[in-house]
């Protein structure tokens, strides 16, 4: 996944498949929103969903459920010394 200057002050995204020498272009910069998972999926980092290279949402995985919350610890870290 490459971000490129579009020449007008904006950015575009290009997905380059080096083994087949193919390039797929998108009119906006997707690098802050998606992570490329090879060979053919984009992972939307805010929604935690997968998309095809055509930017169509896939059925799986389901969104992550919110986990239990706990109060913040009283210390920044805990040190457990090991045996000497």
- For residue range 10-59, what is the model confidence (pLDDT) as tens digits? 899 998 888 888 899 999 999 889 988 877 889 998 888 899 999 999 88
The number of folded domains in the chain is 1
Domain contains 38: yes
Distance of CA 2 to the CA centre of its chain: 13
What is the secondary structure of 51-80 as a DSSP string?
A: EETTSPBPS-SPPPPPPP--PPPSSS----
Domain contains 58: no
Q: Determine the pLDDT at residue 67.
A: 72
Q: Are 1 and 13 in contact (CB under 8 A)?
A: yes
Count the alpha carbons within 13 Å of 26 in the hemisphere toward its beta carbon: 19
Range of the structural domain that residue 23 is part of: 2-52
Domain contains 63: no
Domain contains 47: yes
Report residue 80's pLDDT band, with 50, 70 and 90 as the boundaries: confident
Domain contains 26: yes
Domain contains 64: no
Q: Are 13 and 30 in contact (CB under 8 A)?
A: yes
Domain contains 23: yes
Q: pTM of the full predicted structure?
A: 0.62
């Amino acid at each position: 996944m490459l971000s490129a200057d579009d020449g007008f002050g904006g950015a575009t995204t290009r997905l380059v498949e080096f083994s087949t020498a193919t390039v797929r272009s998108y009119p906006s910069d997707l690098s802050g929103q998606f992570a490329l998972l090879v060979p053919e999926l984009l992972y939307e980092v805010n929604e935690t969903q997968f998309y095809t290279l055509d930017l169509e949402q896939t059925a799986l995985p389901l969104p992550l459920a919110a986990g239990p919350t706990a109060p913040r610890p009283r210390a920044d870290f805990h040190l457990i010394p090991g045996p000497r």
